[in-house]
Amino acid sequence: MTRLKVWDLPTRLFHWGLVVLVGLAWWSVSVHNLTFHRICGSLVAGLLAFRLWWGLFGGSTARFGHFLKGPGAVLKYAKGLIGHAEPASGHNPMGGWSVAALLTLLIAIVGFGLFAVDVDGLESGPFSNLVSFEVGRTASHLHDLMFDGLKLLVLVHLAAIAFYAVVKREGLVRAMVDGKKALPDTAAPLAPARIWALLVGLAIGAAVAGLLIRLSN
Amino acid sequence: MSWNWTLRAGAATLVLATAVSAYALDAASVEKARSDYFHSVGKAMKGSGDELKKPEPSMTDVKAFAATLDKLAPELVTHFPAGSGPDAGIKTEAKADIWTRPADFKKAVDAFTTAAHAYNVAAQTGDAGATRTARMALGKTCGGCHDSFRNEEHHNH
């Protein structure tokens, strides 16, 4: 077993940036600071746009094609979970789908937020002027509902991390910090992305975030 | 005698049931009208806000929305008759505090009415900047009242 590189820096920054920004978005709404909430949401949208790009052109372990496996692989992994499954280089077949679900929920939350209108008709998302008050209210309820779903999924995510730490003795948090994970010497390490892919991804993310911030306030 | 008593008990039950259902129906229709009322307020707030967000807002539209709000604001108190709170057994976001702290509620409602009027006055001048400021001030009175007197809704449409 050696500690091999499994997560590239952009993927790690995306992960922790998301944790911080979703946390701030949650906090800002609880103190009724919707201006700051829209900034957080816009930045999350930028991160998600980057992540979608990175899922196609990023480092090997960040690519959707790398971690979205068929039901056979998922089932096989689930059965091996109790026994002696090899630690995965990147997302394991179950974790991969959990990532897909997290990303889908986040996209839905941001998407509904763009059109959401609060009960007073005072605060609203940047595209709410394109919809009626009623549609904006529905978008707001769905924005809420999807966030409840996200909280649930984050709990599952944390429970899985705890399970791996205690039962499987795999430090997933540390891997997401320094990018390295203890793997058998035969495991395939990360194949990093090209620099142009990173630059294009950063440009897409910055454009999305910048545009939404401009439209929001 | 037993027939007589049965009859009396039956009649009494009927009267009571009618009274209760009439009361419940009343509170429910008050809640419906109240909800429709706030819906109209929200619509006018959003409508004028969407317009004011534009660099060159149509002040004709904003004036109409602001006039609507000015007209609607004084009607607010009529939507909170005694017995239309959470104790009436209806689904409502209205807090019991509205009726247990009437002076505070009146103060909050008066702030809303005053701000709605100020908004209309600002809008009628046609000055978009001043109207935006007045709309934010009006919005604060919505939030100010909701913080104390309205339960945060949760997923109910």
Task: Give the model's confidence band at B98: pLDDT under 50 very low, under 70 low, under 90 confident, else very high.
Answer: very high
SS (H, E, C) B38-86: HHHHHHHHHHHHHHHHCCCCCHHHHHHHHHHHHHHHHHHHHHCCCCCCH
How far, in Å, CA of A13 to CA of A16, rounded? 5
Residue A121 forms contact with B (CB below 8 Å): yes
Q: What is the mean pLDDT of residues B38-42?
A: 95
Q: pLDDT value at position A80?
A: 82
Which tokens belong to A166?
């205690």
Cβ-defined contact of A133 to B42 (cutoff 8 Å)? yes
Is A134 a residue whose pLDDT tops 90? Answer: yes
- The count of CB pairs under 8 A between chains A and B is 50
Q: What is the mean pLDDT of residues B70-98?
A: 93
Is A23 a residue whose pLDDT tops 90? Answer: yes
Residue A151 forms contact with B (CB below 8 Å): no
Residue B86 forms contact with A (CB below 8 Å): no
Among partner residues B43, B50, B142, which is closest to A129 by beta-carbon distance? B50
All residues of chain B having their beta carbon less than 8 Å from the beta carbon of residue A138 are 157
Q: pLDDT value at position A182?
A: 87
**Which helix (H) or strand (E) covers residue A3, if one does?**
strand A2-5
Task: Work out the angle between the directed axes of helices A133-166 and A93-115 (0-180°, nearest 10).
Answer: 160
Residue B147: is it exposed, middle or buried by C-beta count within 10 angstroms (0-12/13-18/19+)?
A: exposed
Cβ-defined contact of B38 to A119 (cutoff 8 Å)? yes
Which tokens belong to B128?
């978009």
**Which one, of A114, A117, A112, lies nearest residue B44 by Cα?**
A117
How far, in Å, CA of B82 to CA of B86, rounded? 11
Show Cβ contacts of residue A114 under 8 Å, excluding neighbours closer than 6 positions. A125, A126, A127, A128, A139, A212
Comparing A68-82, A98-112, B91-105, the range with the smallest average pLDDT is A68-82
Q: pLDDT value at position B21?
A: 56
Interface test with B, best of A124, A133, A134, A216 (most B CBs within 10 A): A133
Which tokens belong to B49?
């806000």
Interface test with A, best of B36, B39, B43, B50 (most A CBs within 10 A): B50
Q: Over the stretch B120-142, which tens digit does the pLDDT of each residue have? A: 999 999 999 999 999 999 999 99
Residue A141 forms contact with B (CB below 8 Å): yes
Q: From the CB of residue A51, how many other CB atoms can be counted at a distance below 10 Å?
A: 24
Gap from A154 CA to chain B (nearest CA, Å): 20
Among partner residues B46, B154, B157, which is closest to A121 by beta-carbon distance? B46
Q: What is the mean pLDDT of residues A88-99?
A: 90
Q: What is the mean pLDDT of residues B28-57?
A: 93
How far, in Å, CA of A80 to CA of B150, rounded? 52
Cβ-defined contact of B143 to A122 (cutoff 8 Å)? yes
Q: pLDDT value at position B19?
A: 58
Give the sign of the dihedral formed by CA A165, CA A168, CA A169, CA A173.
negative
Which tokens belong to B137?
């001030």
Name the one residue in this structure whose structure tokens are 């599952």: A156
Q: pLDDT value at position B156?
A: 39
Which tokens belong to A23?
């946390």
Considering only residues A79 and A82, tell me which one the structure prediction assigns the higher pLDDT. A79
Q: Over the stretch A142-201, which tens digit does the pLDDT of each residue have? A: 999 999 999 999 999 999 999 999 988 888 999 999 999 888 888 888 999 999 999 999
Show Cβ contacts of residue A49 under 8 Å, excluding neighbours closer than 6 positions. A204, A205, A207, A208, A209
Considering only residues B88 and B111, tell me which one the structure prediction assigns the higher pLDDT. B111
What number of residues does chain B have? 157
Considering only residues A204 and A217, tell me which one the structure prediction assigns the higher pLDDT. A204
State the complex-level ipTM.
Answer: 0.75
Instruction: Please give the angle made by the CA atoms of B152, A118 and B98, to the nearest 5 degrees.
Output: 40
Q: From the CB of residue B82, how many other CB atoms can be counted at a distance below 10 Å?
A: 9
Is B155 a residue whose pLDDT tops 50? Answer: no
Cβ-defined contact of B49 to A121 (cutoff 8 Å)? yes
Name the one residue in this structure whose structure tokens are 């499987």: A168
Cβ-defined contact of B155 to A124 (cutoff 8 Å)? no
Q: pLDDT value at position A13?
A: 97
Give the sign of the dihedral formed by CA B18, CA B20, CA B24, CA B29.
positive
Task: Give the model's confidence band at A28: pLDDT under 50 very low, under 70 low, under 90 confident, else very high.
Answer: very high
Q: How many angstroms separate the first and last alpha carbons of chain B? A: 53
Residue A124 forms contact with B (CB below 8 Å): yes
